Structure 1
Amino acid sequence: MSDLPAADPAARPLAGRHALVTGATRGIGRATALALASAGAHVVAVGRTSGALEELDDLIVRAGSTATLVPLDIKDVEGIDRLGGALYERFGKLDIFVGNAGVLGPMTPLAQIDPKEWNDTLAVNLTANWRLIRSLDPLLRLSSAGRAVLVSSGAAHKARAFWGPYAVTKAAVEVLARTWAAEVENISSLKVNLINPGPVRTRMRAKAFPSEDPNTLPTPEEVAQAILALCLPGFAETGRLYDFPTRGLKGFVVPA
């Protein structure tokens, strides 16, 4: 059984709320943007490809909601800073932030990784999320029920050969989210959590495991429903990791 509350799709529980999703043009990000829109949220969709963003916008309109399209390379940190200011001017706050954008990075022995590939992986998977926190934290604190969800991975808890850059960045993202959750826990209504999607039918998964049958894996739409539940105003947990494969919430245990 899941530890997450069930959401009634007909109730549109996010009506009047604004949700920002990174990596919104495909996979889990795209599915999450559509799930939030179907629940009534105005979606700020961030992605690199304008055409894919426009296709997403059409689907969001069909779902009965609206979107703001932000063509942005997540490595453009000055662009992230400008985004926070633009959202404040337009909406005055932000209710939901889903930090989904990520890259697999090089599947190479640590000693053979090209420095540029290492830096690019950190820039997308880790530094961009910190810059987004820096830009969006003041807006999320202005919400009556701010919710942030950062996407992690089971790789964060394994030391699997050749997965170094990806695993390192996902482990760092977990510490980033836990730290943020601890900093805001007693001073705002903002709740910060993580999700481990596990194996999912995405392009990234296919790249990492090319011989795997994708039809044996859950779809991005299934994961998106779990992310939606973490974004609801009634979800009161913070500093937790939702493990999608086991459908359960996990607390963080820090060794003494």
Structure 2
Amino acid sequence: MDTDFSYSPASDLLQERVILITGAGGGLGGALAQACAALGATVVLSGHTVRKLEATYDCIVEARGPQPAILPMNLMTATWAEYEAFAASLEQNFGRLDGLVHAAAHFKGFSRLEDLEPREWLDSLQVNLTAPYALTRLCLPLLRKSADASVIQVTDEGGRKVRAYNGIYGIAKRAAEALANGFALELKHEANLRFNTVDPGPMRTALRARGYAAEVLHDVPLPETRLSRLLWLLGGDARGISGRAF
């Protein structure tokens, strides 16, 4: 868990960068989108609930950040053709990507593996593993057009250590770690591409509340306090760093 990283980004750290963030309708994704815009980035907000994406959009506009874009996508039901159309829209509207953050996650609750419903197995794999692969794979041509492109997989402790009752969520997160490492190794000769994973630690989000219903939420840090490492990795200060698990 990487929660003690202290970093003060320059006010123009992400100036003129185009950054796609999934799960941008709230939680870590929404907080990160607003922080990126405050540092000069044009943020592409993606998620499946347009109303929530619009709320993040409004916050960015009200703070006078660069005008963001909304590109909805239901990662749980998306087909390969829809992913292709998504990437084509990015190409048409922006021409490149300088950052891609896989912050979207699906978690229904803790359970024993033997009790998992087949639907939950498939849904979790789709959102937590297939989506990061599909988006990274199809956005690679856009990332290659950047002088310094950063891809970040948001993970958690369950993706770093096998734990009982983490169910398919833990398995999918562990596989997503391997996915990011695989891209980093295979594309290490392309110095302008970097792939890293970040465990931001416990946060006060709706996702966490599903697994820790008895937890006192006010004792859990807000997502806004867990952004330092992510911002550092998205900017030029982390140029050349790839294949790391923070």
Corresponding residue for residue 48 of structure 2: 48
Q: 2:83 pairs with 80, 84, 87, which one?
A: 80
- Per-residue deviation at 1:107? 2.3
Q: 1:214 pairs with 210, 213, 217, which one?
A: 217
Aligned amino acid, residue 239 of structure 1: G
Aligned amino acid, residue 165 of structure 1: I
Instruction: Please state whether the residue corresponding to 1:238 is helix, strand or coil.
Output: coil
Indicate whether 1:177 and 2:180 are aligned.
Answer: yes
Per-residue CA deviation, residues 48-83 of structure 1 (Å, 9 max, x unaligned), is 111111111111112222111012101313322211
Per-residue CA deviation, residues 180-208 of structure 1 (Å, 9 max, x unaligned), is 11112112411111100121111111111
- Per-residue deviation at 1:5? 4.8
Of stretches 165-174 and 188-197 in structure 1, the one that deviates more from structure 2 is 188-197
Corresponding residue for residue 70 of structure 1: 71
Q: 1:201 pairs with 181, 197, 204, which one?
A: 204
- Per-residue deviation at 1:157? 2.8
Indicate whether 1:29 and 2:33 are aligned.
Answer: no
Structure 2 distance, partners of 1:82, 1:175, is 26
Corresponding residue for residue 192 of structure 1: 195
Structure 2 distance, partners of 1:55, 1:72, is 16
Corresponding residue for residue 156 of structure 2: 153
Task: List structure 1 segments (4+ residues) > 6 angstroms apart after TM superposition.
Answer: none
- Per-residue deviation at 1:132? 0.6
RMSD: 1.6
Instruction: Please state whether the residue corresponding to 1:194 is helix, strand or coil.
Output: strand
Unaligned runs of 5+ in 1: 243-256
Per-residue CA deviation, residues 12-49 of structure 1 (Å, 9 max, x unaligned), is 22111100000000100000111111111111000111
Q: TM-score, normalised by structure 1?
A: 0.89
- Per-residue deviation at 1:106? 4.5
Asked if the contact 2:5/2:229 (under 8 Å) is kept, the reply is no
Q: Percent identity?
A: 34
Q: 1:142 pairs with 133, 140, 145, which one?
A: 145
Structure 1 distance, partners of 2:162, 2:185, is 26
Corresponding residue for residue 97 of structure 2: 94
Asked if the contact 1:130/1:176 (under 8 Å) is kept, the reply is yes
Indicate whether 1:7 and 2:9 are aligned.
Answer: yes
Asked if the contact 1:105/1:118 (under 8 Å) is kept, the reply is no
Instruction: Please state whether the residue corresponding to 1:191 is helix, strand or coil.
Output: strand
Aligned length: 240
Corresponding residue for residue 247 of structure 1: none
Aligned amino acid, residue 159 of structure 1: V
Indicate whether 1:241 and 2:242 are aligned.
Answer: no
